[in-house]
Amino acid sequence: MKSKLFGKNPFLDTFKVVFVGMFGAISAYMMIGLYSALFTGIGYYIAQKYNKPNTKLLDDLQTGQYVGFVFAFLGLLPWFKYFFASFMMEGGSYAFSSIMSE
């Protein structure tokens, strides 16, 4: 027999829906983070592995390093929207301030 608290409580039903929705959103971001960490890590490892001895990482690029950079680019791909959004937000605020100051 269920108690009256957990019976037909609309607040509890709402809490369940919100909890499941937030769990889905958080788990999606966790999957994106794992994808990014895995591909960026693989790319960095490959770039380090094929680095010419006694040189810095980006000084004398080898063919294997280009493959590593492609993997790193694929790992960072989900986050490029925030990179470009920051340019648009700053550009918009600059345009607004220059229009209002004249």
Query: How many C-beta atoms surround the C-beta of residue 30 within 10 A?
Result: 10
Q: Which residue segment(s) compose the domain that 41 sits in? A: 10-101
User: Does any domain span residue 90?
Assistant: yes
In sequence order, what DSSP letters do the residues of 57-80 get, joined into one string? TTTS--HHHHHHHHHHHHHHGGGH
How far is it, in rounded angstroms, from Cα 83 to Cα 85?
Answer: 6
User: Does any domain span residue 82?
Assistant: yes
Structure tokens at 89: 């937000």
Question: Is the pTM higher than 0.75?
Answer: no
Give the chain's domain count.
Answer: 1
pLDDT tens digits, one per residue of 11-64:
888 888 899 999 999 999 999 999 999 999 999 999 999 998 888 888 888 889
> Nearest 5°: CA angle at 38, between 36 and 39?
70
User: Does any domain span residue 3?
Assistant: no
User: Does any domain span residue 2?
Assistant: no
